[in-house]
Amino acid sequence: MNHIDWTDEQMELRDNIRRFMSKHVTPLIQEYELKRTFPYQIMPMLGELGYLGGTLPESQGGHGIDYVTWAMMMEELGYHWLSMRTMVNITNGSINRLANYGSEEQKAKYLEPIMRGELKVCTGLTEPNTGSNIAGIQTKAELQGDEWVINGRKLWITNGYEADVAMIVARTYSPTCEGRLSTFIVEREKAQYEVRKLDTMVLRCTGTAELGFSDVRIPKENLVGEEGKALASTLKGLDAARVNIAMGAVGAAQSALDLATEYAKQREQFGRKIASFQLIQKHIVDMTVRVEAARALGLRAAHALQADKDVRQACSIAKLYATEAAHEVANMALQVHGGLGYSEEYPIERIFRDTRGGIIPEGTTEIQTLIVGREILGVSAIA
């Protein structure tokens, strides 16, 4: 971020974040990567830095952070640990939904503890047969008396393994709703739904899980917002989520570039530093170009969100380019490291895996391409 004209307040926040990461996060990463779990004890501290509910206005209990500053904050998370950025992003998705659509009782019972980092939460969208096509969700919620009865399965649910509360999107059936999507709060301890942990090659500390619901009963008042409105509210939140993931990817790419640059300056082969080799310099230059371009596109999208103008195209372009570029940068950085790049003792191995993890969530590269194509041409390629 050397060429961005940040304000003094933004620079101070960035410096505070970096000191926090250096003291409280970096020393934990290797330990928790090996355990494949997340250090939830840092969540309250992340909340104090503004990472939980940060973009919400102060009137809703947030910090009133603008989207450009938020983008910078996401880059810092990605620079240090993509698993942490992912957990923050997932948590904020539920925070924003509850803040904007939840009842006062739901806010007091769930939102406030989540924003304090005391309650772990996940969002149940993806299913075994439903990924990019949210409208294809098959999990059902049927109103029976004063209870909703939920049946179905959710797959690839981030933080699903540890979450105390799940925000489940389901096809809704009641006297006033026939098959449209709604969001429901499901408490794990009370509902006793099935949880199966899924180990993946990417983002190993984010507790990915499959959730199973078989006649799971929840109180009628656990409906979030109006019946049948979840599809619109979910799609509305995707633009900001795409900027979050794009800027996290920028941070990871910058970290990979910094590691490769430092390694090239130190490593000797054939009697000289490998930084003097033409092909190593080509890698470093290519990496730098991709990082700078991805950051520019991410910040452009953040400005679009702030201005509420040309949002969809800008956010999809940023997500498409930044996530692909980050993995390309990590691949080149690993190449610069040679055989050491394969070792779990060096962070580049983790960054290489985790940058691959950003290419699919929040809409795959292919979906982003179709969205941008539709915005440019005015014709949808999606049936």
In angstroms, the CA 373 to CA 324 distance is 18
In angstroms, the CA 81 to CA 64 distance is 24
Give catalytic status of residue 362 as yes or no.
Answer: yes
In angstroms, the CA 169 to CA 123 distance is 8
Given this model, what pLDDT does residue 3 score? 59
Written as tens digits, the pLDDT of the chain (383 aa) is: 455 789 999 999 999 999 999 999 999 999 999 999 999 999 999 999 999 999 999 999 899 999 999 999 999 999 999 999 999 999 999 999 999 999 999 999 999 999 999 999 999 999 999 887 888 999 999 999 999 999 999 999 999 999 999 999 999 999 999 999 999 999 999 999 999 999 999 999 999 999 999 999 999 999 999 999 999 888 888 999 999 999 999 999 999 999 999 999 999 899 999 999 999 999 999 999 999 999 999 999 999 999 999 899 999 999 999 999 999 999 999 999 999 999 999 999 999 999 999 999 988 999 999 999 999 999 998 76
Question: Within a 13 Å sphere around the CA of 246, how many CA atoms are in the beta-carbon half?
Answer: 35
Given this model, what pLDDT does residue 214 score? 98
**223 — phi, psi (to 5°)?**
-70, 130
In angstroms, the CA 271 to CA 280 distance is 15
In angstroms, the CA 43 to CA 73 distance is 15
Question: Within a 13 Å sphere around the CA of 228, how many CA atoms are in the beta-carbon half?
Answer: 8
Q: Which of 268, 328, 362, 366 is catalytic?
A: 362
* Beta strands in the chain, from DSSP E residues, in sequence order: 121-124, 140-144, 147-157, 165-174, 177-187, 194-197, 209-219, 223-224, 268-269, 272-273
* CATH fold for domain 121-226: Butyryl-CoA Dehydrogenase, subunit A; domain 2 (2.40.110)
* Radius of gyration for the chain, computed over Cα atoms and rounded to the nearest angstrom: 21
Q: Which two tokens stand for residue 208?
A: 């990915």
Q: pTM for the full model?
A: 0.95
Q: Does domain 8-115 have CATH number 1.10.540.10?
A: yes
Strands 223-224 and 177-187: antiparallel
Where are the domains positioned within the chain?
8-115, 121-226, 232-377
Residue 222 pairs in a beta bridge with none
Q: Which two tokens stand for residue 359?
A: 């290419």
In angstroms, the CA 109 to CA 325 distance is 41
Given this model, what pLDDT does residue 1 score? 44
Domain at 232-377: CATH code? 1.20.140.10
In angstroms, the CA 297 to CA 318 distance is 5
